[in-house]
Amino acid sequence: MKLRELKQLDNKELEKRLIELRRELIKYNAQISTSTPPENPGNVRKAKRTIARIITLLKSKQNKEVLTKSNE
């Protein structure tokens, strides 16, 4: 998913997507560890990058909430 698409989601949907991607990544890593080539090796990289994007987005949203609370 692109960052633009992720920004439109709320926190609950982001966390749900994060859990799904982590499960997907576990499956890919299990395939790699058993010397079975994954169906599409590019999906491993995409999953990792999307996980990083979601985590970054969640943290930035939390920081914005903290800043708004401290300014009030």
What pLDDT was estimated at residue 16? 96
Asked whether 49 and 1 are in contact (CB, 8 A), the reply is: no
- Residue-by-residue DSSP string for 20-68: HHHHHHHHHHHHHHTTPPPS-HHHHHHHHHHHHHHHHHHHHHHHHHHHH
Question: What is the structure's pLDDT at 46?
Answer: 94
Nearest CA among 9, 1, 45 for reference residue 25: 45
pTM of the model: 0.85
Q: pLDDT, tens digit, for every residue of 41-63? A: 899 999 999 999 999 999 998 88
Determine the pLDDT at residue 39. Answer: 83
Statement: residue 24 has pLDDT above 90: yes
Q: Which CATH architecture has domain 3-71?
A: Orthogonal Bundle (1.10)
pLDDT band at 70 (very low <50, low <70, confident <90, very high): confident
Break the chain into its structural domains and give their ranges: 3-71
